[in-house]
Amino acid sequence: MKSVEILSLGHYVPERILTNQDLEKMVDTTDEWITTRTGIKERRIAADDEKTSDMAIKAAEEALARAKFDPQNIDLIVVATTTADSSFPAMACLVQKSLNAKKAAAFDVGAACSGFLYALTTAKQFLLSGMYQNALVIAADKMSKVMDWNDRTTCVLFGDGAAACLIQTSDKPNEGILSDYIFGLGEYSNYMQIIAEEIKPLEQKNMLVRSPYVVMQGPELFKVAVNSMAEGVEIAAKKAGISLADISLVIPHQANDRIISAVAKKLGTPREKVYVNIEKYGNMSAASVAIALYEAVESGAVKKGDYIALVVFGAGLVSAANIIKW
């Protein structure tokens, strides 16, 4: 049987660092308040002229360079984002153009913070079907452009970044991406959403334009997030034919340190077996778990033969999990 393995990883984070102390000067908040409630100390903010596609391209370039993979041989490009440069063209097409990946199919996936695993699972199916042999999967979000910077409950949480992985089919059984889980809970869609001022489509005199921004019901979101993530890991592990004890490292979505701790407790997983980098980046939406995977591998926290669990939740509400044998 064919399997799908990860060949290489890449990432990109903007140069600008926005600390909690910086935010103290912008909104009514404190470093202590942010740290104790979220675990975040700083986040990266893209430059005004830095687009989401710019970050996606840089992450993709690193992944390809690490694998010494010719962009001309890419079969498929899937980009997970909810902060694309514009409604169309697809971000994947902009990446394709920049890489000169002329033979690749290209499309985007919108699943908010769960986007990377949704895109990874989608791309995997194309490879297992035999339609393609490889795929470039990218997660990129510029959350700073959809923040209400007067809302201290949301603007302290998010940052910008991108990550990419190159995957290909393999003849090695029981290796690579062993199992997948994706799930939707649309009944909770109002818990986190982007809203904007409505304008009548044909009204030419109405010049009011208000940029879309994030609104969130934090307390309500917390419980659903914890339960859906814990359930996702349990289901994915069962589908992979392993126990929770077999998992060497859980790499969760980096939304809130309290959520991460609650998920670990619910799974009975020791904190040292959970990878956390939220203090440096905040929530980068789709890019969060992808950059956490990149850093976990680079740091040596993930070793050859390890079973790792990737798990996420996002607006929608949607959740996802994957078990990977590294």
3-state secondary structure of 177: strand
Q: Are residues 188 and 142 in the same domain?
A: no
pLDDT band at 198 (very low <50, low <70, confident <90, very high): low
Q: Are 191 and 317 in contact (CB under 8 A)?
A: yes
The answer to whether residue 208 scores a pLDDT higher than 60 is no
- Condensed to tens digits (0 to 9), the pLDDT of residues 41-74 reads 999 999 999 999 999 999 999 999 999 999 999 9
Q: Are residues 169 and 34 in the same domain?
A: yes
The answer to whether residue 212 scores a pLDDT higher than 80 is no
Q: Are residues 126 and 188 in the same domain?
A: no
CATH of the domain at 213: 3.40.47.10
**Cβ-based neighbours of 4, under 8 Å, separated by 6 or more:** 124, 127, 128, 167, 168, 169, 170, 176, 177
Q: Are residues 27 and 138 in the same domain?
A: yes
Q: Are residues 49 and 71 in the same domain?
A: yes
Looking at 174, 192, 227, the residue that finishes a domain is 174
Looking at 125, 157, 174, the residue that finishes a domain is 174
Please give the C-alpha separations between residue 253 and each of 69, 70, 173, 288, 319, in angstroms, as whole numbers: 28, 31, 28, 6, 10
The answer to whether residue 201 scores a pLDDT higher than 70 is no
Q: Are residues 116 and 146 in the same domain?
A: yes
Q: Are residues 116 and 168 in the same domain?
A: yes
Q: Are residues 151 and 205 in the same domain?
A: no
Domain count, the chain: 2
pLDDT band at 316 (very low <50, low <70, confident <90, very high): confident
In angstroms, rounded to a whole number, what is the distance separating the alpha carbons of residues 85 and 197?
19
Please report the pLDDT score of residue 238 as a whole number.
98
Average pLDDT, integer, range 226-237: 97
Q: Are residues 143 and 203 in the same domain?
A: no
Quote the tokens at residue 56: 């996606």
pLDDT band at 195 (very low <50, low <70, confident <90, very high): confident
Please report the pLDDT score of residue 36 as a whole number.
96
Q: Which region among 27-36, 91-100, 138-147, 205-214 has the lowest average model confidence (pLDDT)?
A: 205-214
Q: Are 124 and 4 in contact (CB under 8 A)?
A: yes
pTM score of the predicted model: 0.94
Active site residues: 113, 253, 283
- DSSP letter (8 states) at residue 218: H
> Could you tell me which residue, 207 or 139, shows the higher pLDDT?
139
Count CB neighbours of 26 within 10 A.
13
- Condensed to tens digits (0 to 9), the pLDDT of residues 237-271 reads 999 999 999 999 999 999 999 999 999 999 999 99
Looking at 152, 174, 196, the residue that finishes a domain is 174
Range of the domain at 147: 3-174
Q: Are residues 212 and 141 in the same domain?
A: no
Could you give the residue ranges of the DSSP H alpha helices within 180-250?
218-240
Q: Are residues 36 and 9 in the same domain?
A: yes
Amino acid (1-letter code) at residue 281:
Y
Q: Residue 185: is the preceding peptide bond cis (ω within 30°)?
A: no
pLDDT exceeding 90 applies to what percent of the chain? Answer: 84
Nearest CA among 190, 262, 210 for reference residue 233: 262
Tell me the average pLDDT of the chain.
Answer: 94
